[in-house]
Structure 1
Amino acid sequence: MTHAYVVRYVGGPLDGRVDSVPRPAESPKPTVTHVHLHGGPKIVHHYDLRYAVEYGCEYHLRTEDESAG
């Protein structure tokens, strides 16, 4: 039995989302942008890549402190 490569999202509107893919991407995106449209103003969240040795990688919500630096 083979285990899928797992991509997890931490924080923001995607918190808890888990995507399973058969194998890791050769060049995973360093940042994923999520645009939330809800009938009001557009809200944009940025998730930055972090590797998780146990199962794949995680995208963590970028905080304002990280955006300013």
Structure 2
Amino acid sequence: MTQAYVVRFVGGPLDGRVDSHAKAPDAPKQTVTHVHLHGGPKIVHHYDLQYAVEYGCEYRLRVEDESGL
């Protein structure tokens, strides 16, 4: 039996989410964008890829520069 390729999300609204795939992707996305629509303004979060040798990869919430510079 082959061990699943696990993708974890750290931070933001997807914090704690774990996706499991049968195999590692040939070319994983460097950034995942999560758009939250809730009847108000659109809220967008970006997650950047980081590899985790133990289980696959991890997407960490990108810290946006709040100064606007």
Q: Same fold (TM over 0.5)?
A: yes
What is the rounded CA distance, in whole Å, between the counterparts of 2:64 and 2:43 in structure 1?
14
Q: Which structure 2 residues correspond to residues 12-27 of structure 1 after superposition, within 5 A?
A: 12-27=12-27
**SS in structure 2 at match of 1:64:** coil
Q: Which structure 2 residues correspond to residues 35-54 of structure 1 after superposition, within 5 A?
A: 35-54=35-54
Q: Percent identity?
A: 79
Which aligned runs of 4 or more in structure 1 are off by greater than 6 angstroms? none
TM-score, normalized by length of structure 1? 0.91
What is the rounded CA distance, in whole Å, between the counterparts of 1:28 and 1:35 in structure 2?
19
What is the rounded CA distance, in whole Å, between the counterparts of 2:27 and 2:36 in structure 1?
25
**SS in structure 1 at match of 2:13:** helix
How far has the Cα of 1:2 moved from its partner?
2.2
Aligned residues: 67
State the superposition RMSD in angstroms.
1.5
Structure 1 or 2: larger helix share? Answer: 1
